[in-house]
Chain A
Amino acid sequence: MAKIVIENASVSYFLRKRGDVAKSTERGAVGAEVIIGQRYLEITALKNISLHLNDGDRVGLVGVNGSGKSTLLKLCAGALGVQSGRVTVEGRVSPQFALGSGLKPKLSGRQNTELKCLYMGVPQSSVGRHVEDVKALSGLGGYFELPIHSYSAGMRSRLVMSLLRLVRGEILIMDEWINAVDPSLSAAVGGLQTQLIERAKILLLASHSQRVLEEWVDRLIWLDYGEIRADGEIKGVYREYRKWFQTRSAPKAVDQSARI
């Protein structure tokens, strides 16, 4: 059984002070407030979040840039700690934050696949067979033997998608990249993503795309300035979020670039 229990969790990022720190406190259209501490700049990205996820939950996260979506995903994946509150995660977590994360650019597709097999717990006796499977599935041919920093974006996408076959996670955490699939990928490779999502006991997915969210999740959490503004059935929450988004003042709605 997999579960995620977050109780009154607050998460802050800490940054060293650089240059004129007073300028850092200027509020923009997005992102949490930057506080000047005694030694560091502090950004409280999540404030008193409580969340219970159990087997079968398919949950989406929505919110403007800097609202805390990625922070919440990283918190569940163990990449961040809490400053107050409590987080309990039971089950194997498989984070998929960005295309190519967890790969070594200097190593070849083959070496990266071998490493991924070993990290993912594939029995050592069957690593060779899995590597050949990934090679065939990716369709990379000779490029599979070259360092992945020499790959085009499409080639990298092929390799990453093919590696999904090796991912074993009860809790799947995805950040946006679900749309990053090369359109030329075969149905078999594209289908791996579907299998991965369907196999997961819990899905936590951050996306700005209504289509993607409606396809994969049935519950939506709207985050704003690090707090849960709404949590419920997808259609209702998304409608509320869109309405709010459109009524924001124009300059604020345009600036989507800054992220925590």
Chain B
Amino acid sequence: MELWNRIRPYLSSLVRFFHISYIEAKSEHSGTQLGILWAPLTSLIFSALLALVFHHSATMGVSEYFIYVFAGYALWNFISDSITGSTDVIQGQLDFAVHNNLSLIGLFGKLLVDRLFEYLMNAVVLLAMILLLRPTNFGVGLTLFPPFLAIIILTSLGTAYLVNIITVLYPDLKMAVKVGARFMFFASPVFWSASEVSSGTRAFLVQYNPVSYYLSLARQVFGVEPLEPSAWAMAVLVSAIISATGYLAYRQSQSFVRNFK
């Protein structure tokens, strides 16, 4: 009971932030018949197109490949938003946040919830697709969803702050970040199979591109790929480095960065 009383305010704030994300996401599609459903629908359609056009796997059928791509693309959107959506947070949105009782950390937390809201909408559709197309995928992997969320939340927060501070200090990097994110989309196994490459550039990318580990985790959770502890260990390591660096950058820069006009 005491524990519940302690965590209740945090849960209440979380639900409140999700409600805010819902209102804002709904307003982006106001005037359309499908409204907020367009958010997961666009991911679904794009994943289906990628699966159809780029289906190259000898071991996976089209439906299985579609689930593989969708699980990766849903997380890719989250990663991409964490990077490209964080270039102007403090300079562009802190004033709005302060007027709405949000601190600097609260602002980054609110934007994180926005990204999570979109990801969770896609995850619900993904679960429905798995239930429909590959019900045998459901398994023990789903129990890893909470630790998976914890990993991507920490990484996303650290990445968002680092991207913001770097682009504030070096404005030219804004465009580099956008181009880099586009490059990362192709360089990460979003729509090509990581397990079917053993040599060449793609094998190098699978091994040395940290995004590939996060994509693998997302697929393991939904039973699209077999459980692989080494991928979890690598993702935890990368997350720890990014979140620790982000925290140190925050401690060092939070007075300066708010005053940068």
Contact = CB atoms under 8 A, between A and B. Distances in A.
Contact of B20 (A16, A95, A118): A118
A154 interface: no
B99 A95 contact: yes
A28 interface: no
B252 to A, nearest CB: 11
A74 B99 CA distance: 11
Interface of B: 15-16, 19-20, 23-24, 27, 94-96, 98-104, 171, 254-261
Contacts of A116: 100
A214 B256 CA distance: 36
Contacts of B23: 107, 111, 114-115, 118
Given A101-B96, A102-B96, A114-B23, 10 more contacts: A11-B259, A13-B261, A14-B260, A78-B103, A102-B98, A106-B27, A107-B27, A118-B16, A119-B102, A124-B19
B176 to A, nearest CB: 17
Contacts of A119: 20, 100-102
A81 B16 contact: no
Interface in A83-119: 83, 92-97, 101-102, 104, 106-108, 111, 114-116, 118-119
Taking each of A78, A93, A120, which has the highest tally of chain B beta carbons within 10 Å of its own beta carbon?
A78
Contacts of B100: 102, 115-116, 119-120
Given A92-B101, A102-B96, A118-B16, A79 B258 contact: yes
Query: Secondary structure of the B side of the interface?
Result: helix
A77 interface: yes
Contact of A82 (B19, B95, B255): B255
Contacts of B27: 104, 106-108, 111
A12 B258 CA distance: 10
Interface of A: 11-16, 40, 74, 77-83, 92-97, 101-102, 104, 106-108, 111, 114-116, 118-121, 124
A245 to B, nearest CB: 28
B259 A78 contact: no
A121 B19 contact: no
Contacts of B94: 79
Contacts of A121: 16, 101
A23 to B, nearest CB: 18
A77 B101 CA distance: 9
B256 A14 contact: yes
Nearest to A116: B100
Contacts of A13: 259-261
What are the 8 closest A-B residue pairs judged by CB atoms, nearest first? Answer: A102-B99, A81-B255, A119-B100, A79-B98, A101-B99, A81-B258, A14-B260, A102-B100
Nearest to A94: B101
A80 B16 CA distance: 26
Contact of A115 (B20, B95, B254, B256): B20
Contacts of B101: 92-94, 119-121
A18 to B, nearest CB: 11
B259 A80 contact: yes
9 contacts: A15-B260, A40-B260, A79-B95, A80-B259, A81-B255, A83-B256, A101-B95, A104-B96, A120-B101
B92 to A, nearest CB: 13
A106 to B, nearest CB: 7
Contacts of B256: 14, 81, 83
A97 B259 contact: no
Given A79-B258, A81-B255, A111-B27, A95 B171 contact: no
B16 A124 contact: yes
A49 to B, nearest CB: 15
Contact of B98 (A14, A95, A124): A95
Taking each of A79, A92, A97, A116, which has the highest tally of chain B beta carbons within 10 Å of its own beta carbon?
A79
Nearest to A42: B259
A95 B212 CA distance: 44
